Structure 1
Amino acid sequence: MITALMNLRLPIKTFCLSIFMGITMTMFSQVKSTQRANANTGISSSKAMEYRQRFGFISVGYHSPITTGDNFMGQGLEGESGLDFKFQIYVYKQFFLGLYTGASYFDVKDNSIVGNYNKTSLSEGYGYVGYEFLPADRLRLGVLASFYGGARFKNHYSKSRNVFQVDRGNLSSFGVYFNYELSSHLMVYIDYAYRTSKTDIKVAPELNDLFERGNYHSIGIGINFALGTGDLISGFID
């Protein structure tokens, strides 16, 4: 059973990467066609942005975590799967604030690095700020960075019993996303994030460099549910 699950992870990650690349290529093709169409019809970019302004959105998605770096996550853990939940609100025009919560799941690939346990679940949460571009009809490109975040590692020692250890840390994240509008209130997205957790794990001094932080990439897909029209403060200052 364990061997079968291990063999399944590579196709799942390959599938997610294929979707990421395929949708990205489709979106950039959409950018070119929309630019040509707008040039022919004389539609200004400011009018297009005003028409597509939203108050915010709620999203749910799946991501594939990919550990990296010379640290306990990169050397000792292997990403398995993850879930994402976000709430985002547009404060002024395309500037936004958001809240993220999610979970990432990892298998241990080297017990000599992380110790005598076999799985780790990582609960994550942070606030973020960012800006969204509207480069083409139906397409939204956002860039964001966290400003406060926390991480909770739950390290499972046994498959048959509820035996675990908990470690905590601060979390930072930088990311980019592409949203494609299926309708005025429903979007699909792909996203990428690079996340770093600065931990409070207590280890011998010679191991501090290995355990003081952990890094991983996240490639995700999901659905956005748009909320309302108009940003938070434009109505008060325009």
Structure 2
Amino acid sequence: MSLSLLTKTFIFLFFIYCFTLQAQTSDTLENKTKQTKTHLNVEFSGILPIAVGENFMTDGMDFNYGLSFSFKGYFNDHLFFGLKFQHLRADVADETLVGVFEHDNVNSYLAVGGYRFILDEQFNIESSLGIGATVYNNKKTTTTFNEKIDFEDDATTMIISVATSYRITNQLKVFIKPEYRIDFMRIDTAPIRQDFFDEAHFLNILFGIRFGY
């Protein structure tokens, strides 16, 4: 499946942003903030999920909240790699569009990598790219014959994010992280509706804490 024009545009802008920010990194600043760097981070965050675009998630689902957990290791003080788990919760807004179920638990398992820009002793910016697998667990607990409906849809997920963090102590930071998420769905449907179900797009806002070691 080829990426949509919107997807390609966001990827291009993401890498232009990273290149521009990297060019502004100062060696003097590196020496000044060396003592504040951490080499292993664990993050916990809440998510405000916002479905965007013309697709089944935007028109057929109502997203309530999300949670995220990740840990990552840093190399060369800047490059990092890690693993991330993300959970989104949604209720069905229109059964005629998405099917006869009540709510959706969306669980994602991703590998992430990126670059840390150290602005000063208090503020850091991290740009990252995550790729992994997602399971949509669709459920309905109340039916006419008291039978539960429980089925799954699979997707490949890509997340582009830029986080700004503020250091409270050497081991504790708070951060805000806007992210653009694309789920490439594997749903069998009528050809005339395929474009509507091919991709789900999100613009999520994360607020959380980061423990560094």
TM-score by length of 2: 0.81
Bigger Rg, structure 1 or 2: 1
Structure 2 partner of 1:47: 31
For structure 2, the residue ranges without an aligned partner over 5 or more in a row are 1-26
Q: Which structure 2 residues correspond to residues 56-95 of structure 1 after superposition, within 5 A?
A: 56-95=40-79
Q: How many Å separate the matches in 1 of 2:28 and 2:190?
A: 61
In 2, Cα distance between equivalents of 1:129 and 1:49: 22
**Distance 1:87-1:159 versus aligned 2 partners, 3 A rule:** farther
Whether the 8 Å contact between 2:66 and 2:87 is mirrored in structure 1 is yes
- Tell me, yes or no, if structure 1 residue 224 matches structure 2 residue 207: no
Kindly indicate whether residue 150 of structure 2 is the aligned counterpart of residue 167 of structure 1: no
How far, CA to CA, are the matches of 1:219 and 1:206 in structure 2? 33
Within 5 Å, which residues of 2 pair with 1:99-178? 99-146=83-130, 148-159=131-142, 162-178=148-164
Q: Is the 8 A contact 1:56 1:87 kept in 2?
A: yes
Q: Is the 8 A contact 1:173 1:194 kept in 2?
A: yes
Partner secondary structure for residue 155 of structure 2: strand
Q: Deviations over 1:114-165 (max 9, x none)?
A: 011121110011111111111122111111112x311100111225865311
Does structure 2 retain, via aligned residues, the 8 Å contact 1:79–1:106?
Answer: yes
Closer, same or farther: CA 162–138 of 1 in aligned 2, 3 Å = farther
Name the % identity. 23
Instruction: Assess if the C-alpha contact under 8 Å between 1:134 and 1:141 holds in 2.
Output: yes
In 2: Cα distance, 1:66 partner to 1:142 partner? 21
Gaps of 5+ in 1: 1-42, 228-238
SS at match of 2:101: coil
| Structure 1 residues 205 and 89: CA distance shift in structure 2, 3 A | same
Alignment length (residue pairs): 184
Q: Could you report, residue by residue, the CA deviation over 1:191-238 in whole angstroms, capped at 9, with x for unpaired residues? A: 1111111111111111111111111111111111101xxxxxxxxxxx
Q: Is the 8 A contact 1:68 1:75 kept in 2?
A: no
* Residues 68 and 159 of structure 1: CA distance in aligned 2, closer, same or farther (over 3 Å): farther
Q: CA deviation at 1:183?
A: 0.5
4+ runs deviating over 3 angstroms? 159-162
CA RMSD of aligned residues (A): 1.7
Q: Contact (CA 8 Å) 1:62, 1:84: kept in 2 or not?
A: yes
TM-score normalized with structure 1 length: 0.73
Structure 1 or 2: more helix by fraction:
1
Deviation, structure 1 residue 45 = 0.6
Q: 2:200 aligns with which of 200, 203, 214?
A: 214
